[in-house]
Amino acid sequence: MKNTVLMSVIFLLTFLFSCTSQTYVDEKSLDQFIKSNELTFMAKRANPTNFDVINVMNSMPNNNSARMLNLDYGYSVVLKDKELTVNLPYFGRLFNPSYDTSKNSYNFTSKDFTISKVQNKKGNWVYTISPKDQNNIKVIYLEIFKNGAAFVSIDSSDRQAISYDGYIMKNETNK
């Protein structure tokens, strides 16, 4: 009987600890990133809003019906003191596509942008970034959660909106 109870307790504790949320950045580092406005958002998943893209994804064999695409490492939004660098793929409808396929994704560097940040009731930070030197990008929303997870949404004038899930990390320094 004691053995069964002990096994049940061990199973319950294992189950509870496996259900906790993942922490990407410790709280002290996250506060430092937010105070300095120097951080990197690394995208893990893309969430397209175009139903044509979602229908194509659902028709592929061995694919689930989730509306998100897992991304490779390296897609990011880098925010520095006087520079914003965006390198994110795009899945959806473009209203003004280019023959140069490298221009159809979000791949740009902006040196003229406005940034505002507020902390909401839940303690999450919400950045609103408006690049002034990019004609097609209206606004980029970046929401940073307490555990270092983040959510980016990009609103453009020449394509449908898309969002990305990922995490926050320290900017890489060039040697």
Is residue 38 situated within a structural domain? yes
Give the total number of structural domains in the chain. 1
For residue 52, what is the enclosing H or E element? Answer: helix 51-59
pLDDT surpassing 80 at residue 23: no
Is residue 6 situated within a structural domain? no
Q: What does the pLDDT average to over 11-34?
A: 67
Is residue 16 situated within a structural domain? no
What's the pLDDT at 9? 62
CATH of the domain at 76: 2.40.128.410
Q: What is the pTM of this model?
A: 0.78
Buried b / exposed e over 8-21, threshold 16 CB at 10 Å, is: eeeeeeeeeeeeee
pLDDT for 78-105, tens place per residue?
A: 998 889 999 998 887 888 777 877 778 8
Is residue 134 situated within a structural domain? yes
Cβ neighbours of 148 (radius 10 Å): 20
Distance CA 139, CA 114 (A): 10
Is residue 10 situated within a structural domain? no
The boundaries of the domain holding residue 150 are 26-169
Average pLDDT of the chain, as a whole number: 80
Tell the residue number behind the tokens 């004609």, with chain if given.
135
Is residue 2 situated within a structural domain? no
Range in 14-18, 37-41, 122-126, 165-169 with the lowest mean pLDDT: 14-18
Is residue 15 situated within a structural domain? no
Q: How confident is the model at residue 130 (pLDDT cuts 50, 70, 90)?
A: very high
Is residue 130 situated within a structural domain? yes
